Amino acid sequence: MIAYLFVLLSIGAGIQGTVRTRSSLEPIPGAVVTIPELKRTVTADARGYFVISDVPEGRWNVEASALGHATHALTVVSTGTGVIRIDFELAVEPVRIRDLEVRGGQAGEDQGGVRANTSAGPPAVRVDVASLRLQPGLAEPDVLRALQVLPAVGSISDLSSALYVRGGASDQNLITLDNIPLFNPYHLGGIFSAISAGAVSRVDVWAGAQPARAPGDRLSSTVAIHSRDGGRDQLRGEGAIGLISAHGVIDGPLPGRKGSYLLAGRRTYIDPAIAAANKLGLTDFRMPYGFSDLYGKATHSVGLLGTVSASAYLNSESIDFPESMRTDSDGDLLFNWGSRMFSVGYRQALNAYLLLDARAGYSDFHGSFDWWDSDFATEPPAKVLDGRTLARDLLVGVDLTWYRPSHTLLFGLQSDNYLFEHRLESDSGFVNDSVLLQSFNRAARERTVAAYVEGEFQLSDDFDLRVGLRHLGTDDLGNAWLPRAALRWKLGDYVAVSASAGRFAQAIRSMRNDESYVASILAYDLLTAQEKEAGLSRGDEVTLGAEWARGASTIRLDAYAKRMNRLVLPHTLEAPLDMTALTIDEYRIGTGSVRGLELLASHRVGETRYMLSYALTRSSRRVGSDVYIPRFERRHMLDATAITSLGQSGVFSTRVSWGSGQPFTPVETVVVDRTFDPATGTWRYPNAAVIVGTHNSDRLPAYFRVDVAARKQFTTQWFGRETKLSPYVQVLNLFNTHNVMFGELMPAAEPRLQYTPQLPILPTFGIEWRF
Amino acid sequence: MRRIALLVLLLTACERAPTTLDVSHGQTLVHAMLPAGDSLAAVLITTSAPGPENVWLKITEKAVSGARVQLESASGRVELVNAPTDDACTGFPPPLTENPDLAEGCYVGVVTGGIQPGVRYTLIDLPSGRKVTGATTVPFPPSFIAPAAGAQIMTGGVQGGKEPIHVRWAGTDKAPYVTLVAGIVNEPACNVQLRSSDLFGLSLVHVTPFDSVALQSITVSCPGQSQPVQRAAELVLTAYDSTYTEYIKGSWIGSRTNAEASAGLSGAWGVFAASASARLPVTFVPAP
């Protein structure tokens, strides 16, 4: 509870400063700073920076609060001129049971003492790492999977971490890390997201209703992952080992304590362990697969309120056949793929009311896929598969925020230079004869320049308005003006209503065909530029929302309607197992529409937090005379989570998910089928033809899953330091429900629809430690 | 005990009781191909029926006799008669796992002047009071440019530095689907495989929309003959109408849509289509 007061010479009158965690001095993003007497409330930005403008002459109480921290209040005296600088340092106040935070939406005050800020429109949803750890999950805390508990966010299968937001495809979401796009941040085909939870401070999800300043141009959502800075006082570390991988995070001060660093790494450990055993002659088996990811960041203070930061992210996976597998399979296989991200950022308060935020970055997803066919005894290896993929973005951007007495103006500019190069060649019939995959070669470049101006106006104590205009310019796909507007109106102490509308545009698309079953198994998007023939894909969305918050309960309800056009869709519609995995040069241009209702409610009773999430989604795609429901849609999705204390230092959580079945194409009948032989002028011996009905006109069985997790914390001493150990156990799909991924037509013996299951019961356990 | 229960749970997780499909037996099936230049038109009418346990897919066919079948064009109407013993009816083999006398469902009629390219024929078919209609327009036949008629073509593969065999043709610009096959004259049991590095196909090469193909190899296999011998053969280039194109498209993947499974027809599954072929006599000579 230390406050530094500086009076600076500057224009206007106001309070400016930062909110940080005591001791470590890590910024607290989203901390709320208020002057109760003036009914003035502002929210600190991603780096804990805040400005309260136009503070009149007088003696005022200023409070700073943040979830998981003790509230701190102090008194300042304003002369009506100049600037008062306050740097809050809030003591950590652990909250064992915490949940998702709906930013900017609370009409009242929640249990944690975090008061609402005033932000127009439906709020973003914020997920912090502490709440991530409490969600029952797959093997280990997963940044992207945790978002699937939100009503706006769906998934196509248990095997995929890819996000499907409000009836949009997975390529309509922008995932950023430190404001730089991330491409395909997944491991193991998408089962895990490839972002170490230990490096993340919070995740903001803008599902629809994105403001003009949102850091990307996508039709459905922006998922902004913010990393931690690391502490500036001492070395800290944490780690975990689970069934799949082990990870570790260390952070500490840079020399001079003017900055900090953070290093996080994760790696599968089974493959190197077996390789070591192999070298020692203990086994002749070697694991052909492994993954790793590494994140590093350094932040340094510049001037009074400025920082310069640099970060790097690497994730890689590989399949490399060991000798024994080469012999057994008469071939050799070497697949390497992954993504990289590098960023540098500079922030500086140019004066008391003007904040500059600049960034430059590089991001890519790359891969090489080689397969040789040979028996290694009588013939030399022949390359039968040669695949390469690269999706790259080189960007530079700047944002300016101008804090005024009753409004904030934001300006920004960002240029993205994309390069896409994808190639798949095969000398065998393996690829060319496959219905799912064909040889192809595709390269594309695209440059986009986005500029925006946006104003946030507090028109009265109860009414906030946000108006913005974004412009997206491209080299080949045309330009788009993208107006955005939102308002929020507080109706009394507990209720608020909000509305937003906006137009969105997108210059890139994924070639992955969501109608193919491959999309249920592989989350990776194969990105390329939008087709020139189609131009920028566009979307218009309107959202109406209402929220109620009182005491320990909150309810938020949103209704939305969205339409999209110039979508690149598959050129034919078949059953999922018969559809090509990629939509490359053969495509159709169509439209989409989505309407939906979303409910997010939470309630706390003592040490137990309940959360309920429900989504009703009606989406469709129209192309030519075909109108169909996209395969990833679940008409109803209900998710209930309960998190409760387990003794003095434990937490037990359970999550129940129920969803209506995904669409599939029904079988109408099976008939005898003949083909004509022109050589003999006769019909060939007949086959059987499975006749399918209208695409996606029926539904698979409903989805039901119960996950449970329990963790307990122990404190001990390691190397003279207090260390907290948290063993955990999780059981995914506790009742082993046979949820269906897709139905496969089996035209043999007795014709039937064979269901391919999703994840079975999956118990996992591990241990985390922190010092 | 708990371990066993857990193991059972894990194992059963991989299974979900499949849903047996209602095959909806009793579907009417019509198969007809009108080759340009032929004077005889043949139509097979059957219904699908439940099959015994050992029949693949548990479906079989039953012939539909006693139907009134008419073929109509601008030049007149032809009544097709039930002619189970006609040679044209041997072109409809039954499924391998059953042996019903499908010829009972075969209807044949003589088209005066032969089936004419460019003419639209309609089928009016009234089996058991159920109305089935079909329509097709006969395509124009293509013509070979190379090789020359009577050319000697080496079989047995061209690997080892031999030049590919270039086949060129004309007249398929407007055809939605074109195939190239080869057959041994008077030996229908022989199988001829054509291989091209650029195109799909073995015994039947899909050459749409090209006007030439370089055959890398031709292999001939005849039942009971292990030694390759010189044979009179023919290359057959066939252009199909749009209904057969729609129909065959469905067979390239595992399932067919309604439109693909009832191409050119209304009221029945199957296909009512037309084709036009060019036949080039050649001699297949085994490679030394």
- Look at A617 and A284; give whichever has higher pLDDT: A617
- B57 is written with which tokens? 């897919």
Phi-psi label, residue A167: left if phi above 0, alpha if psi -120 to 50, beta otherwise: left
CB A551: neighbour CB atoms within 10 A?
12
Summarised one tens digit per residue, pLDDT across range B145-204 is: 999 999 998 887 554 446 788 899 999 888 889 999 898 888 888 888 888 766 555 666
- A724 is written with which tokens? 């907290």
Instruction: For residue A528, give the amino acid letter.
Output: T
Residue A562 bridge partners (DSSP): A541, A594
Asked whether residue B125 carries a pLDDT value surpassing 60, the answer given is yes
Whole-angstrom distance, CA of residue A7 vs CA of residue B78: 104
CA-nearest residue to B274 within chain A is A676
Summarised one tens digit per residue, pLDDT across range A62-110 is: 999 887 888 999 898 888 888 888 889 999 876 655 555 555 444 333 3
> Given this model, what pLDDT does residue A479 score?
96
Size of interface A-B (CB pairs under 8 A): 176
Whole-angstrom distance, CA of residue A13 vs CA of residue A239: 46
Q: Do B15 and A685 touch (CB under 8 A)?
A: no
Whole-angstrom distance, CA of residue A128 vs CA of residue A610: 17
Whole-angstrom distance, CA of residue A272 vs CA of residue A282: 13
What order of strands is seen across the sheet that includes strand A72-78?
A: A40-43, A32-35, A58-65, A72-78
Chain B residues whose CB is inside 8 A of the A695 CB are: 257
Q: Do B33 and A684 touch (CB under 8 A)?
A: no
B269-286 and B152-155 as β-strands: parallel, antiparallel, unpaired?
parallel
CB of A414 within 8 A of CB of B182? no
Largest distance between two CA atoms of chain A: 102
Of A16-30, A161-175, A444-458, the least confident? A16-30
Q: Do A753 and B19 touch (CB under 8 A)?
A: yes
The CA distance from B20 to the nearest CA of chain A, in Å, is: 4
CA-nearest residue to B201 within chain A is A433
Q: Do B23 and A575 touch (CB under 8 A)?
A: no
Instruction: For residue A217, give the amino acid letter.
Output: D
> Given this model, what pLDDT does residue A345 score?
96
Summarised one tens digit per residue, pLDDT across range A334-361 is: 999 999 999 999 999 888 788 999 999 9
pLDDT averaged over every residue in chain A: 86
The CA distance from A282 to the nearest CA of chain B, in Å, is: 28
Could you tell me the pLDDT band of residue A117, with boundaries at 50, 70 and 90?
Answer: very low
Sequence length of chain B is 288
pTM: 0.82
> Given this model, what pLDDT does residue B205 score?
72
Q: Which of A669, A683, A689 sits opposite B250 (nearest CB)?
A: A689
A587-605 and B40-50 as β-strands: parallel, antiparallel, unpaired?
unpaired
Summarised one tens digit per residue, pLDDT across range A287-332 is: 889 999 999 999 999 987 889 999 999 999 999 887 777 777 777 8
Kindly give, in sequence order, each residue whose CB lies less than 8 Å from that of residue B165, ignoring residues fewer than 6 positions away: B147, B153, B154, B158, B214, B215, B218
CA-nearest residue to A667 within chain B is B21
The CA distance from B238 to the nearest CA of chain A, in Å, is: 7
Q: Do A683 and B16 touch (CB under 8 A)?
A: no
Summarised one tens digit per residue, pLDDT across range A470-504 is: 999 999 999 999 999 999 999 988 999 999 999 99
B269-286 and B262-263 as β-strands: parallel, antiparallel, unpaired?
parallel
- Look at A7 and A303; give whichever has higher pLDDT: A303
Q: Which residue has the tokens 């095959």?
A: B23
Q: Which of A667, A677, A760 sits opposite B14 (nearest CB)?
A: A760
CB B248: neighbour CB atoms within 10 A?
20
Q: Do A685 and B183 touch (CB under 8 A)?
A: no
CA-nearest residue to A579 within chain B is B253
Q: Do A687 and B251 touch (CB under 8 A)?
A: yes
Q: Cα angle vertex A760, ends A757, A764, to 5°?
A: 150
Q: Do B179 and A678 touch (CB under 8 A)?
A: yes
CB of A279 within 8 A of CB of A249? no
Could you tell me the pLDDT band of residue B7, with boundaries at 50, 70 and 90?
Answer: very low
Whole-angstrom distance, CA of residue A122 vs CA of residue A420: 35
Largest distance between two CA atoms of chain B: 82
Summarised one tens digit per residue, pLDDT across range A631-676 is: 999 999 999 999 998 888 889 999 999 999 999 888 777 777 888 8
Of A46-60, A304-318, B2-16, the least confident? B2-16
Q: Do B18 and A757 touch (CB under 8 A)?
A: no
